[in-house]
Structure 1
Amino acid sequence: MLSTSIYCHTRNDSGKNDTGNVHTTSPTLTFALLFLGNIIGSGIFISPKGVLEHAGSVGLSLIVWVCGGGICALGSMCYAELGVTIPKSGGDYSYVTEIFGGLVGFLLLWSAVLIMYPTTLAVIALTFANYVLQPAFPNCLPPFIATRLLATICILFLTWVNCSSVRWATRIQDVFTVGKLLALVLIIVVGLVQICRGHYDALRPSTAFEFSQDPSVGQIALAFLQASFAYSGWNFLNYVTEEIVEPRKNLPRAIYISIPLVTLVYTMTNIAYFSSMTPEELLASNAVAVTFGEKLLGMFSWVMPISVALSTFGGINGYLFTSSRLCFSGAREGHLPYLLAMIHLKNCTPIPALLVCCFATIIILCIGETHNLINYVSFINYLSYGVTIASLLYLRKKRPNLARPIKVNLLIPIAYMVFWAVLLGFSLYSEPVVCGLGMVIMLTGVPVYFAGVWWKDKPKWVYRIVEKVTYVGQKVCYVVFPQQDPSEMEPLTASKATD
């Protein structure tokens, strides 16, 4: 029998903390690689087509990629302040719950658990399966069942790895992040060689801004939404703040290293694409990297499918790592079943939360095509980002004397909020059904919140069922509640006395 009064807070013989913290010889580099692994994934192989389609020209699409990185930099600076001011894992959810209260935080949690992370994981897993199977089906698309089966196997395997060891998960992330960066370097180098040989017709200023359609603010907003799918993950290091060694120092360092590097890699990768493909060829391609490899690598074109597979494999691992921590944080706040706030007695990994993320992703994999949900995911993502950064502005006004180890210039969150309002407003105007449905999905959490969280006096049989399920789940997963270190909240509690 596992008692919920047992806590997991142990040290091994070497003195290393086993509560889930990842101690390495270079923690900044480790978490910078984890950050890169979350951002760089299948998006750079999927989004270029959508960005170009909505931007309408090569030049404007490149501007969107650069500006997208700049917007991520502004947002990441704001998140760095929030991450060390409110040192709790859970990212957006934890900050909004702390500042705006339970309902707003629950709505972010609800939309993330219901659609954002499972759908994103499903899209990346399907991309992985398609690229792995493509060499076996050179003249046609891989079978529907085969791609779903391979994607499911990948999700199950990486869930097992994350359940077994935090260290294993970060080691996989390190290896595959380096591998996919090398693959992107190959694309960039080959593209630069092409440019040096004079193959840059699509990049000439005289042709780069030849629009295939009249540009509009609404279409540019949708181009930013498409690019945001590739950049998504820039805030995910805040989801594991409690597992970062010295977060006040290593969190901003990892962000400042990663965001400029990602922006440079994405922009140069798109330039490389246009060095070998016309805009029409890129729009007609269902696998941009494969088309690029076939045109330039000849007998070595098989490198591209393998490279994309490595990239997406690491991306799936990173998303599982961070999304499970969101479930963990939500359960710890009482917004999800308490079983999801428990960790394995020996491995100290959030097994129940990982299993929920895994099964939700598999369900979406079985529903059908998930690529159509990318716009929903991007819209909800940006909606969450804006609410979170608005909470920073509110906290500045409400508690000006709160201890802030990192304090950004006020113009940074204001500039982000202006861009956010313009982007979402024109996106909603251009795609009212897609974006409106994203808002509806989020608002369906309102009755769930009042029934499941706000309503305290439920019938006793409801509590008995919950207790029974929790007890069985503890036995099956061998999990207990983790011990919380009071010092984790020191910056917040210490400042309350001075406010």
Structure 2
Amino acid sequence: MVTETSPLLGSASASASPSMSKFFKHGGSAEATPTDVKGPEATQHVDEGSLSHVRQAKRQIGVTSAVFLIFNRMIGTGIFATPSAIFSLSGSVGLSLFIWVAGMLIAAAGMAVYLEFGTAIPRNGGEKNYLEYVYRKPRFLATGMYTGYVILLGWAGSNSVVFGEYILHAANVEVNRWNQRGIGLACITTAFLIHGLALKWGLRLQNLLGVIKLAIILLIVVSGWAALGGALKIDKPHNFDNAFKGTTGSAYGVVTALYNVIWSYIGYSNANYALSETKNPVRTLKIAAPLALTTVAILYMFVNIAYFAAVPADEIISSKRLVAASLFRNVFGPKAERALSVFVALSAFGNVLSVIFSQGRLVQELGREGILPFSRFWASNKPFNAPLAGLFEHWLVSVIIMLAPPPGDAYNFILKRHLLSTRHRQCLRRRRPDPPLPAQSSLAVEPTDQSDPPSRRLLPAQQHLPDGCAFRAAV
């Protein structure tokens, strides 16, 4: 046996429980990396010649970087693109805002589930580890299905295309299929090279873009306050005078609108994919995930209020995904609309950085487990202490998905994964009730439904996201 230290867990008090450690060590699932949790630096026993050999990795992700990992994944282009569709489906300002609140509660329930799993199994891999722990039989089934999900889908591709679209719009250049995708290719290639060759600078750039996103959204919020005070270049829209006028009686409309809100919140689990590279991962995750989600939820509500304060109802519906541009035009004038396109493009780029960062580590984890062919190659951190091979795999698949298919249904392919991660979350409790988990979600939080996307005409901002899951939360 070869003993090697591996930065998989934080302090002894924050480590996973002995029963879970035993599962990963003694083959409760043969797919899992055999680990023995014993303190600040878990001691890992790996058979000689094993393909799941795990290298020493330096922890570089603190609370701030973890917050921005989540923040960048959650805030792509959704908050700029979906409010129009949600308002159109709900029929009124009041119901639209209530749906955003409901979506926030659902996102909080989902975050609680991932927080529980992440603090119980604080290691790279995310859902792969959770599915293997819950679904042990048939052996390798959960691992095989999840491997297909990770390897075959290029989540970073769609927001790269959105980046190209908004850059061309800002430059006042006509958008066509190839110039849009050409700029998108440059976007995703830049993200790949930054994270593959200069990990620290990639994290710093992510943090910087997270700050820029925050500044953009705060500017929209302040613009809404100015509009409420009468600082508009158009007549005041009076959308709040009768907030529930026009409320839809269609259950389909409400459910579809709620689904779109849930899409806008997906990303709260992004820090779970890099817990092996996180300083004191249990403590960091317990702080970063709730902080990021709470911040985003508050900002989303203020942004929606800003839209309704500055843009007439009929213009919100007709503007579709450019409602933020309408707000800037109505408050600051036509030139501000083009400036906003640059801001939204930067937001999309931040999302691409965040997505490829996490997906590259999922591929690396599959290599460490010996699941992929040439596993040593995929598991390696050489030569820049970053998962260059895993990042390359996701870059390649994203580029193929981005360039090969024509616009339309091919872009709307979405694979489900959240339901399997959450439906039997209670197995975690039944198999290991003691000691208590570092973070526990309420047993009242249960998955209730998961259906296909209610509309095949998904926005580009939504296409990179995995399918969501609805929860029932007791109040």
Query: Partner of 2:337 in structure 1?
Result: 301
Partner of 1:392: 425
Counterpart of 1:75 in structure 2: which amino acid? G
Q: Take 2:244 and 2:117, find their aligned partners in 1: how far apart are those partners?
A: 40
Q: Which residue of 2 aligns with 1:490?
A: none
Q: What is residue 95 of structure 1 aligned with on the other side?
A: 130
Give the SS at the match of 1:404: coil
**Structure 1 residues 164 and 55: alpha-carbon distance in aligned structure 2, compared to 1, 3 A threshold:** same
Q: CA deviation at 1:89?
A: 1.1
**Letter paired with 1:147:** Q
Moved more, 58-67 or 233-242: 58-67
Is this contact kept in 1: 2:273–2:358, CA < 8 A? yes
Does 2:404 correspond to 1:367? Answer: yes
Please show how residues 436-455 of structure 1 align to structure 2 within 5 Å: none
Q: What is the alpha-carbon distance in structure 1 between the residues aligned to residue 361 and residue 243 of structure 2?
A: 47
What is the CA-CA distance between 1:36 and the residue it aligns to? 0.9
Contact 1:39 1:233 in 2 (8 A): yes
Q: Show the 5 A alignment for 1:2-13.
A: none
Note if contact 2:169-2:175 (Cα within 8 Å) is conserved in structure 1: yes
User: 2:146 is matched with which residue?
Assistant: 108
Pair 1:279 & 2:310 matched: no
Amino acid in the other structure paired with 2:266: S
**SS where residue 302 of structure 1 aligns?**
helix
Offset of 1:201 from its aligned partner? 1.6
**What is the aligned length?**
403
Q: 1:311 to 1:244 in 2, by over 3 A?
A: same
8 Å Cα contact 1:364-1:370 kept in structure 2 = no
* Structure 2 CA distance for partners of 1:274 and 1:113, relative to 1, 3 Å: farther
Which of residues 108, 123, 128 is equivalent to 1:73?
108
Q: Does 1:225 align with 2:263?
A: no
Distance (whole Å) between structure 1 residues aligned to residue 399 and residue 262 of structure 2: 24
Further displaced range: 105-114 or 244-253: 105-114
Cα pair 2:151 2:393 within 8 Å, conserved: no
Q: 1:278: Cα distance to partner?
A: 2.6
User: What are the residue-to-residue correspondences of 1:185-264 with 2, within 5 Å?
Assistant: 185-197=218-230, 199=236, 201-204=238-241, 206-211=242-247, 213-216=248-251, 218-264=252-298
The alignment partner of 2:400 has SS state of: helix
- The equivalent position to 1:82 in structure 2, one of 114, 117, 124, is 117
Quick one: distance in 1 between partners of 2:292 and 2:172?
Answer: 36
Which amino acid is 2:177 matched to?
F
- The question of whether the paired residues in 1 share the 8 Å contact of 2:368 and 2:376 is answered with no
* CA distance 1:62–1:389, shift in 2 (3 Å): same
CA distance, structure 2, for counterparts of residue 144 and residue 130 of structure 1? 9
Per the alignment, residue 48 of structure 1 pairs with 83
Question: In structure 1, how many angstroms separate the alpha carbons of the residues matched to 2:91 and 2:160?
Answer: 29
**Unpaired runs of 5+ in structure 1?**
11-16, 443-499
Deviation digits for residues 226-263 of structure 1 (CA, Å, limit 9, x no counterpart): 22332121111111111110011111100121111101
CA distance in 1, matches of 2:76, 2:420: 25
- Cross-structure match for 1:405: 438
Q: Which moved more, 1:67-76 or 1:275-284?
A: 275-284
User: For residues 410 and 99 of structure 2, what CA distance do their matches in structure 1 show?
Assistant: 21
Query: What letter matches 1:258 in structure 2?
Result: A
Quick one: which amino acid aligns to residue 74 of structure 2?
I
Q: For residues 361 and 385 of structure 1, do their structure 2 counterparts lie closer, same or farther at Cα, with a shift above 3 Å needed?
A: same
Evaluate the alpha carbon distance shift between residue 432 and residue 320 of structure 1 in structure 2; reply closer, same or farther with a 3 A threshold: closer
Letter in 2 for 1:259: L
Measured in 1, the distance between the counterparts of 2:120 and 2:352 equals 29
Q: Distance in 1 between matches of 2:97 and 2:457?
A: 28
Map of 1:459 onto structure 2: none
Question: For residues 66 and 433 of structure 1, what CA distance do their matches in structure 2 show?
Answer: 24
1:143 aligns with 2:179: no
Corresponding position of 2:64: 29
Aligned to 1:458: none
What is the TM-score of this pair, normalised by structure 2?
A: 0.77
Contact 1:340–1:353 under 8 Å retained in 2: no
Q: Distance in 1 between matches of 2:411 and 2:240?
A: 28
Match of 1:352 among 383, 389, 394: 389
Question: Does the C-alpha gap of structure 1 residues 261 and 432 become closer, same or farther in structure 2, counting only changes over 3 Å?
Answer: closer
Q: Contact conserved, 1:131 with 1:306, CA < 8 A, in 2?
A: yes
- Tell me the secondary structure at the aligned position of residue 178 of structure 1: helix
CA distance in 1 between counterparts of 2:455 and 2:378 reads 38
Q: Measured at CA, do residues 229 and 163 of structure 1 come closer, stay the same or move farther in structure 2, by a change above 3 Å?
A: same
Question: Does the Cα contact within 8 Å between 1:226 and 1:375 map onto a contact in 2?
Answer: no
Q: Which residue of 1 aligns with 2:34?
A: none
- State whether residues 327 and 340 of structure 1, in contact with CA within 8 Å, keep that contact through their aligned partners in structure 2: no
Summarize the Cα distance change of 1:171–1:58 in structure 2 as closer, same or farther, 3 Å threshold.
same
Question: Is the 1:187–1:269 contact (alpha carbons within 8 Å) kept by the matching residues of 2?
Answer: yes
Larger RCO (alpha carbons 8 Å, 6+ apart)? 1
What residue ranges of structure 2 are gaps of 5+ in the alignment? 8-54, 468-475
Counterpart in the other structure of 1:310 = 346
The answer (yes or no) to whether the contact 1:56–1:215 under 8 Å persists in 2 is no
Q: Secondary structure at the match of 1:156?
A: helix
Distance 2:56 2:195 in 1: 15
Structure 1 residues 297 and 53: alpha-carbon distance in aligned structure 2, compared to 1, 3 A threshold:
same
Match of 1:312, SS state, is helix
Counterpart amino acid of residue 156 in structure 1: T
Indicate the residue corresponding to 2:471 in structure 1: none
- Please list the CA deviations of residues 275-329 of structure 1 after superposition, one character each: whole Å capped at 9, or x if unmatched: 2223332222242222222222114333311111111111110011011111122
Shift of 1:144: 1.8
Contact 2:220–2:306 under 8 Å retained in 1: yes
Q: Which moved more, 1:67-76 or 1:223-232?
A: 223-232
Using the alignment, how far apart are the partners of 1:8 and 1:396 within structure 2? 28
Match of 2:211 in 1: 178
Instruction: Specify the code of the residue in structure 2 equivalent to 1:333.
Output: E
Q: TM-score, length-normalised on structure 1?
A: 0.74
Backbone CA RMSD of aligned residues? 3.0
**Matched AA of 1:104:** A
Match of 1:343 in 2: 380
Partner of 1:159: 192
Aligned-pair distance for 1:106?
2.9
For residues 163 and 107 of structure 1, the distance between their equivalents in structure 2, rounded to whole angstroms, comes to 27
Q: Which has the higher helix share?
A: 1
SS for the counterpart of 2:161 is helix
Q: Residues 151 and 200 of structure 1: is their aligned pair in 2 closer, same or farther, counting only changes over 3 Å? A: same
